[in-house]
Amino acid sequence: MAKAVTMNGEERPAQLKRQDPGPVKNFSGNVAGLWEKITGFLSDVRAETRKVVTPSRKEVQATTSVVLVAVFVFGFFFMLTDFVFNRVISQILHRLGGAQ
């Protein structure tokens, strides 16, 4: 048998379901909850926006130089890789008689 649960000074059987709110209360509760979620989100956005810092000229120059060096290194690497694969494929095709 189910145990009795005490709520608000009253004993109730544990198997009784909690009644759902009516449609009007459910609708207004969802709107109020949605409004709280939206205002909470906007206050979080505002707090994070205040943490944003503009980088100094020195930091911008440093990161720009790192990006430019990386672009040239990767460009050279892929150019070399493309050259090697082109030679290998050409040799394979030439030996198979597919290319002149």
Maximum separation of any 2 CA atoms in the chain, in Å:
97
Give the model confidence (pLDDT) of 52-65 as tens digits: 999 999 999 999 99
* Cβ–Cβ < 8 Å for 14, 3: yes
C-alpha distances (whole Å) from 66 to each of 28, 70, 78 are: 55, 6, 18
Give the model confidence (pLDDT) of 4-53 as tens digits: 656 566 666 555 555 665 665 666 666 667 888 899 999 999 999 999 99
Q: Where are the domains of the chain?
A: 23-52, 55-100
- Per cent of the chain over pLDDT 90 is 54
- What pLDDT score was predicted for residue 33? 77
